[in-house]
Structure 1
């Protein structure tokens, strides 16, 4: 299926997946703060010492092998806050990926639907041109036989010129739709005859605008991403406070094997176990500035979340109203096409009885084809509007398209 292939190969979605994987690895890095750190050290060289009087000078090749094991005991929440921030960032990247996928699906559905629309419009335009050309030829034949009117022929040719212009415009629209289709799917249209208008996912659409708003507040990827951004900012603030104003307590174990080191000839071993408390303090009071900066980040992320919620409500309202509008419009245009068809049938009967002119029939045929084209185009608008509703409420998933 086109959509399945697109979701597997889209550069945009592959990039979003890579962001998620990168955030997951960053989370593992943050969790590593609770794991011990082993630091082995090896050195080899030549050491010479000129000692004070009555002490023997030394000169020899020296080597030292050491290993230090350091384990965090407590840092007053700094590491845990860093883990929480990384987890929130990971969830944020997943929400962004979900939003990217739904946006890509909506683009794909719109490109496909618009291509089907332009194919239908071109068919109607060609049918209209062919029909008017045929009627014009018949009227010219009548004029040659002395039973037709030259004015009707001129009127028919005028209608034909308009139909040709419509057909040229439809061909241009089709070319644009094909280019858009190729850009989205990374492949040209394969078989125009197999392309049909997607169905409106009635069963998956919310029943009312209120239901749509409730679903959007709970499922919107952009709202989720903004919420996780707030969590990440708050966790960063806690980590900054602990790192800047609280000490770090670590357990340290060291072992050394030394030979000819420090003027002591021969081999010796050293073992050390201790608890170390450290608290770096910048005399420029940067810890205060860092905390204020992280507090400002919390405020900004919370305000963006509030703005995002307002924007989502506006988008849902607009998408819902557009869907209802397009449904009503499509129904009216479908009814118009039915009425145009009834008029044309009646006009043809009256024409055969001599009560209608050729121009009346041509006008009726042109009106019918135009109404059918508009009705088909309106149905395409309904399809796009319905999937737009699903996208803005965060419910546009592949099963909705099946």
Structure 2
């Protein structure tokens, strides 16, 4: 428990005593980007998709296999009954054999299926890249939310502490007035009850601050120490329609859906090739190492399926259904993103109005509290009136702080719905993950034996 209160005290001191180096929101976003396990996971998924493109390309190349074999054979003709009947002397024989073969096979024609498989793999890479952008946006949005929430909870704790001090003063004033007979014991009890409630509210706020610190560590990678004030909000869009137009063009969900549509189109074409024949060639060279004899066999194979129980037609219809599903999913993605933009824009506008109204409410509540407290000293107001006025002022201040925090995060949420919340677009000034680096290194399906060191260097660079 002592460690808990110590952590709360240290965190609360962040707004009071300036340190040599404060952690800015940009610092937090950079840390979140670099330490995110989700980003590491999805970057690895993207590299796996890159390898699928290399695998598809490899299908267009000849397949060369090598085989060698050696054998030893012992023949035993020793049969007692047979030897007696035939008069043959028992015989033993041994033989050895060793050979090697080299076979090369190559697909000549399959209706363009292999080339279309490469196109599918490339579109899958682009689709996976958009999925990675979506994860990046969520990581950065979580970081913004965590940063703002810690600052909010620090301010709420300070507000609650001030409330406890103020009510303690009112309690002492009530006791003093009770001693001289100006108020009753009921007034003192009311003040005591309010102070207990204020202390409970302070404890809850301190607990919320500790929870915010844990969320900060999960989102950003370390506990907050000394957070700087929030920077000026970035410009999202001049209007809701402008924001929606940007989102439809740039949101990774919509772009990913577009790539999935292309994949479905290609898969329909691939399904058509199942009705076409296949032509392949092979060349096999065999050498008997003991006899020195060898042979070479070259061949070409033409094959086609005459009857398959309707499977090919079913697969073709399935591909058509998948194409329709992808097209509908793309349209729905536009609807969902457009709705998200509208909701985010509305939320920002609502919170802005709440801030403006909250400012007026705080000003009025402050004047009311000061007036009620002054009137109470003259006997025109009761202790309960003072306590109620203090509670209204506290609520007004807390509501305004929460609205300011919600509006701030809401702007970044709007950027996210527009597809604009990435490390590059926020100008964080760091080296970000390059999706082309690994793809360019493996897209031609290099042999590990000759390109392994280059791939290792790329992976090391990505890891850093």
Same fold (TM over 0.5): yes
Farther off after superposition, 123-132 or 365-374: 365-374
Residue 209 of structure 2 is aligned to residue 174 of structure 1: yes
Is 1:11 matched up with 2:45?
Answer: no
2:346 to 321, 324, 336: 321
Q: Quote the offset at 1:381 in angstroms.
A: 0.7
Alpha-carbon spacing, 1:290–1:317, altered in 2? closer, same or farther (3 Å): same
Task: Calculate the aligned-residue CA RMSD, in Å.
Answer: 2.9
Query: 1:356 Cα deviation (Å)?
Result: 5.8
Q: Which residue, 249, 254, 258 being the options, matches 2:284?
A: 254
CA shift at 1:385, angstroms?
Answer: 1.2
> Which of 229, 240, 243 does residue 271 from structure 2 map onto?
240
Structure 1 residues 396, 237: closer, same or farther in 2, change over 3 A?
Answer: same
Alignment of 1:33-182 (within 5 A): 33-45=59-71, 60-144=95-179, 146=180, 148-150=182-184, 152-182=187-217
What's the counterpart of residue 341 of structure 1? 366
TM-score with structure 2 length normalisation? Answer: 0.74
> Which residue number corresponds to residue 55 of structure 1?
none
Match of 2:392 among 343, 364, 367: 367
Question: Could you tell me which residue of structure 1 aligns to residue 293 of structure 2?
Answer: 268
Q: Secondary structure at the match of 2:292?
A: strand
Distance (whole Å) between structure 1 residues aligned to residue 32 and residue 157 of structure 2: 27
TM-score by length of 1: 0.84
Are the structure 2 counterparts of residues 81 and 10 from structure 1 closer, same or farther at C-alpha, using a change threshold of 3 Å? same
Selected match of 2:227 from 170, 177, 195? 195
Q: Secondary structure at the match of 1:34?
A: coil
Contact 1:30 1:79 (8 Å CA) reproduced = yes
**1:277 is the counterpart of 2:308:** no
Hey, what does 1:25 align to over in structure 2? 51
User: Does the 8 Å contact 2:133/2:252 carry over to 1?
Assistant: yes
- Residues 11 and 22 of structure 1, relative CA distance in 2, 3 Å threshold: same
- Is the CA contact (8 Å cut-off) linking 1:200 and 1:386 kept in structure 2? no
Alpha-carbon spacing, 1:134–1:89, altered in 2? closer, same or farther (3 Å)? same
Paired residues in the alignment total 383
Q: Which residue does 2:332 correspond to in 1?
A: 307
Gap runs ≥5 in structure 2: 1-26, 76-92, 429-464
Query: Judging changes above 3 Å, is the alpha-carbon distance between structure 1 residues 401 and 133 closer, same or farther for their aligned structure 2 residues?
Result: farther
Cα distance, 1:375–1:19 mapped onto 2, change above 3 Å: same
Which secondary structure does the structure 2 equivalent of 1:42 belong to? Answer: strand
Tell me how far apart the structure 2 counterparts of residues 401 and 126 of structure 1 sit (CA, whole Å). 38
In the aligned structure 2, how far is the partner of 1:48 from the partner of 1:231?
63
The aligned residue for residue 263 of structure 1 is none
Q: 1:113, 1:197 within 8 Å by CA — same for their partners in 2? A: no
Instruction: Give the Cα separation in 1 of the matches to 2:167 and 2:427.
Output: 39
**What SS does the aligned partner of 2:149 have?**
helix
